Amino acid sequence: MDEASPKISVEYFDNATVVFLSEENILRERDITAIESSVMPLIEKTDGVNLIINFRNVKFLTSSALGLLIRISKKAYENNGKMLLCTISPKIYQIFEITRLDKVFSIYDTQAQALESVE
């Protein structure tokens, strides 16, 4: 397996696609690029996709990772879809609050809540 391959998994539901970020640390540019190259095709293949990104394993991320989330959200919106975030630790959530991205993104405590919101 390629060292630059992202450690993500994808689960499909009737009304949403859930991307699980498996890495605890999303810090290196090559990790961010690998995640982007895996997630963008999911959006491009499905017009109107409801993409939920599950952060349950993430403990640290960089500003570049935040930039990636903005790009993913924009791409989903351009394709008549939306991006939601869920299961963000309190420490990571503080980053969203400081950057005011908590006002930009739809963030849910649990994956079930995120799925329910797109029904």
CATH number at residue 76: 3.30.750.24
Task: Judge whether 98 lies within some domain.
Answer: yes
Residue 4 has pLDDT above 70, yes or no: no
Residue 5 has a pLDDT of 56
Residue 2 has a pLDDT of 46
Range of the domain at 102: 8-114
Task: Judge whether 32 lies within some domain.
Answer: yes
The number of domains in the chain is 1
Task: Judge whether 81 lies within some domain.
Answer: yes
**Pairing relationship of beta strands 17-21 and 8-12 according to DSSP bridges:** antiparallel
Residue 47: DSSP 8-state: T
Comparing C-alpha atoms, which of 40, 117, 55, 67 is closest to residue 92? 55
Residue 79 has pLDDT above 90, yes or no: yes
Task: Judge whether 3 lies within some domain.
Answer: no
Length reported for the chain: 119
Task: Give me the residue label for tokens 């991205």.
Answer: 101
Query: pTM of the prediction?
Result: 0.91
Comparing C-alpha atoms, which of 82, 105, 109, 115 is closest to residue 12? 115
Comparing C-alpha atoms, which of 38, 34, 29 is closest to residue 62? 29
Q: Tens digit of pLDDT for each residue in 14-34?
A: 999 999 998 889 888 988 998
Task: Judge whether 88 lies within some domain.
Answer: yes
| Distance separating alpha carbons of residues 9 and 53, to the nearest angstrom | 10
Q: Tens digit of pLDDT for each residue in 81-109?
A: 999 999 999 999 999 999 999 999 999 99
